[in-house]
């Protein structure tokens, strides 16, 4: 058993441990049930739970959430539309987000999936040095999907 101030009390009976905890108006908490004998501690369980929740909240704040943005293209995209959407992709990458590029095929365009492949290859070539392909282009029903992520090396040299 461990006391309220952290000192080792030693092996005591459960009744004795509970009485000591009640005398101090605290709780008896089992901290290591797999140990032989099990280790218990006298503490304020409400305060312990509160502090644990605060620590977990801080850990969540420090976690980096990577956002995935999606941009959709068509196989017969106009050059100006391509340039505009490429600008959006560049903006997303500079913000540190991963980008899911989708080529949507309609009707008979499915017979010409090579056009979608050409657009994706052109986009990767245009973003050379800025982005890396995280998931190679793959056909998913009527869509062709590719995931690109910001290139860590270029971000480090720019910053």
Boundaries of every domain in the chain: 14-62, 68-158
Show the tokens assigned to 26.
């605290």
Alpha-helical (H) ranges within the chain are 14-23, 45-62, 79-94, 113-126, 152-158
What pLDDT is recorded for position 154?
A: 57
CATH superfamily of 68-158: Translation initiation factor 3 (IF-3), C-terminal domain (3.30.110.10)
111 and 120 in contact (C-beta within 8 Å)? no
User: Does pLDDT of 22 surpass 80?
Assistant: yes
Name the residue with higher pLDDT: 3 or 153.
3
Q: Is the overall model pTM greater than 0.75, yes or no?
A: no
| CATH number for the domain whose boundaries are 14-62 | 3.10.20.80
Tell me: the pLDDT tens digits for 72-127?
988 888 889 999 999 999 998 888 888 999 999 888 888 888 888 898 888 888 88
Alpha carbon distance 52, 30 (integer Å) = 16
């Amino acid at each position: 058993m461990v006391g309220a101030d952290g000192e080792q009390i030693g092996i005591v009976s459960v009744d004795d441990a509970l009485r000591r905890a009640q005398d101090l108006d605290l709780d008896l908490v089992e901290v290591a049930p797999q140990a032989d004998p099990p280790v218990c501690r006298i503490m304020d369980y409400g305060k312990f739970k509160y502090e644990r929740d605060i620590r977990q909240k801080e850990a969540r704040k420090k976690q980096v959430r990577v956002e995935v943005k999606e941009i959709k293209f068509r196989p017969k995209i106009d050059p100006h539309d391509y340039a505009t959407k490429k600008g959006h992709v560049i903006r997303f990458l500079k913000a540190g987000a991963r980008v899911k590029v989708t080529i949507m095929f309609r009707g008979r365009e499915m017979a010409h999936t090579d056009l979608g492949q050409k657009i994706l290859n052109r986009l990767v070539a245009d973003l050379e040095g800025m982005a890396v392909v995280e998931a190679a282009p793959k056909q998913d029903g009527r869509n062709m999907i590719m995931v690109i992520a910001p290139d860590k090396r270029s971000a480090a040299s720019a910053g």
